[in-house]
Structure 1
């Protein structure tokens, strides 16, 4: 689903009095708040949907598949989403 399709679905399903531009602004604001909160190290829980958190991976060794050489893979932080039980049950 594209952003435009999501906006159309939200306007149709929620029966809200927002224009497409206003709905797009709301989605952009949600994205911005999520990114800012996760960057600061916090978690974001959306009741009934799930939880966004940061997953920290440690530095590790790996192997270059082309040469077979051992390489070091740097530590990193990545966003992780864990679905709520209600959401899992609704999808299943």
Structure 2
């Protein structure tokens, strides 16, 4: 697999709408890729629901979200838009 840094940028600069199905793991991302999508959306809420069985109230750590994204990137050639929840800071 080769990952390109301009895949999402090129999609965003194109006149078409970017359709990015929501996923929460590498399997879902692989299925989206097989279905022909170029981009997926990794939702913090979907991770909280599936990993913790809890609502999205800031319970996931940056490491947990980063790990989920890394698994998707390791197994697919997709661009990934990631919801990083509250930013993990104290601003």
TM-score by length of 2: 0.22
Higher relative CO (CA 8 A, sep ≥ 6), structure 1 or 2?
Answer: 2
Structure with the largest fraction of strand: 1
Could you tell me the TM-score, scaled by structure 1's length? 0.22
